Amino acid sequence: MRTVATYQDQAVLVLGLGKSGINAAQLLLKLGATVVVNDGQDQESSEAVAELRALGATVITGSHPVSLFDEHAFSYLFKNPGIRYDNPMVEAAVARHIPVLTEPELAYEVSEAQWVSVTGSNGKTTTTTLIQLMLDYKRAQGHAYAAGNIGIPLSQVAQKVTDQDVMVTELSSFQLMGTTTVKPKIAVLTNIYEAHLDFHGSRANYVQAKMRIVQNQTADDYFVVNWDLPELRELSQQTKAQVVPFSRLGASQAGAYVEAGQLCFKGEAIMPVEEINIPGDHNVENALAALAVAKLMGQSNEAIIEVLTTFTGVKHRMQFVTEYQQRRFYNDSKATNMEATEVALKSFQQPIVLIAGGLDRGFTFEPLLPLLKAHVKAVILYGETKQLLAQTAKEAGIQVIEIVDHLTEAVPAAYAASAAGDVVLLSPACASWDQFKTFEERGDVYLDAVDKIIAE
């Protein structure tokens, strides 16, 4: 871990007791800061609170007392990424010109390892995982570690890596908004669609947050970007880094691309597209992005081929669960927006029984109409959006439309509506927060319900 004096004897407010908040607070204490942790939920009985207090932090839960700013001369505020900027503590910090940062900023400062950073609306976690596996394959020195939005706290990993290692960091728009010095050697932008506008306020703000991934790059760095999206070609003009395009549609051969059914890099054919072990055009794009990074980092074709032919998918992201009674079950709980569900539906030639629904963000689901018509034989719907989705399914001409109260009821209903050769797909097209704390919890409920069907 690199020793930094930035936070020595500085008062720092950490907002939120999520994974990143807890680990950031622990690291700040090691760096000599006076740390105050605040969470609006009552967390007094949690082990994390007891541990942080034992380490010397002041922990206040159950409210957001703005009066803390009068009691402490805070130099910095580190917030959990999902906490909004209209939170009273964040607003108080901004009003006092106190920098509002997120955990990647802290982790980058102490990390001795080179960073490869991945962002985008969809495909971040799969691409991050593929890159990590490729860069770690038969690595002569050090290791490649995946961390960040993938679920592993950055500040935890940053403390143990050396200059022989690589940190492959998945960075969300929420995380990137709170960075000022992060400078990845390679930045990857998978795509940009409509997402998190309730948080960012506008699409322009969302795009601006994503592009912070290149804000500190120089001509010695690389920006790996999806060339099949014209908007991203325009955005690539904002970076000083060397632009390395990837293109499933053959829009450019200057980086990674598909030609004659082969994954290629700068004129070299590496492997057949059909041998990628995870389904869907979107995973061809994820493979191309990862392949480009691996080649830029000097990794072998053997590593690329081994990973792409054996990787079975990230949990909750188009995850193949099992085959039972000639039905194939897939868990795509991470599909928290329509674009992700569109991608999932395009991934299969077999008839689909779709389980969908969740938090109502005020959207309608007309964009799903053509894909529902083309791919879906039955829908099982639950959650706040079930009636809206049912209307769209009806317009698509789907004959089997069943509405239930909860995901636990949806899974056996989907199995009953399926036949041999079908795909049973959880791809909600909505956030999980109407019935679940996280998309991971939602996915785990689906997995348990599939297990129950098989057991019975």
Tell me how far apart the alpha carbons of residues 120 and 210 are, in angstroms, rounded to a whole number: 7
CATH number of the domain located at residue range(s) 11-101 in this protein:
3.40.50.720
Report H helices in 72-123. Answer: 88-95, 103-110
pLDDT per position as a tens digit, 237-253: 999 999 999 999 999 99
Q: In the predicted model, what is the mean pLDDT of residues 47-76?
A: 97
Instruction: At 305, give phi and psi (nearest 5°).
Output: -65, -45
Cα atoms in the Cβ-side hemisphere of radius 13 Å centred on 178? 30
Confidence of residue 339 (pLDDT cuts 50, 70, 90): confident
Confidence of residue 208 (pLDDT cuts 50, 70, 90): very high
pTM above 0.75, yes or no: yes
Confidence of residue 193 (pLDDT cuts 50, 70, 90): confident
pLDDT of residue 47: 93
CATH number of the domain located at residue range(s) 319-455 in this protein:
3.90.190.20
Comma-separated ranges of CATH 3.90.190.20 domains in the chain: 319-455
The response to whether 123 counts as a known ligand-binding position is: yes
Tell me how far apart the alpha carbons of residues 331 and 394 are, in angstroms, rounded to a whole number: 24
The response to whether 120 counts as a known ligand-binding position is: yes
pLDDT per position as a tens digit, 63-99: 999 999 999 999 999 999 989 999 999 999 999 999 9
Cα atoms in the Cβ-side hemisphere of radius 13 Å centred on 319? 18
Confidence of residue 200 (pLDDT cuts 50, 70, 90): low
Is pLDDT above 70 for 195?
Answer: no
* Fold of domain 104-310: UDP-N-acetylmuramoyl-L-alanine:D-glutamate ligase (3.40.1190)
Comma-separated ranges of CATH 3.40.1190.10 domains in the chain: 104-310
pLDDT per position as a tens digit, 249-273: 999 999 999 999 999 999 999 999 9
What the block records as the tokens of 199 is: 């948080």
pLDDT per position as a tens digit, 290-327: 999 999 999 999 999 999 999 988 889 888 899 999 99
Confidence of residue 53 (pLDDT cuts 50, 70, 90): very high
Comma-separated ranges of CATH 3.40.50.720 domains in the chain: 11-101
The response to whether 119 counts as a known ligand-binding position is: no
pLDDT per position as a tens digit, 348-398: 999 999 999 999 989 899 999 999 999 999 999 999 999 999 999 999 999
Neighbours of 1 (CB within 10 A): 16
Residue 161 is classified by DSSP as -
pLDDT per position as a tens digit, 90-141: 999 999 999 999 999 999 999 999 999 999 988 899 999 999 999 999 999 9
* Rg of the chain in Å (alpha carbons): 23
pLDDT of residue 279: 85
Q: In the predicted model, what is the mean pLDDT of residues 202-218?
A: 94
The response to whether 124 counts as a known ligand-binding position is: yes
Q: H or E segment at 71?
A: helix 68-71
Q: In the predicted model, what is the mean pLDDT of residues 44-70?
A: 96
Residue 224 contacts residue 230 (beta carbons within 8 Å): no
pLDDT of residue 313: 84
Residue whose entry in the numeric block shows the structure tokens 């079950």: 329
Mean pLDDT score across all residues of the chain: 95
Residue 442 is classified by DSSP as H
Residue 127 contacts residue 289 (beta carbons within 8 Å): yes
Dihedral over Cα of 310, 314, 318, 322: its sign: positive
pLDDT per position as a tens digit, 392-405: 999 999 999 999 99
Report H helices in 300-438. Answer: 301-310, 338-346, 369-375, 386-395, 407-417
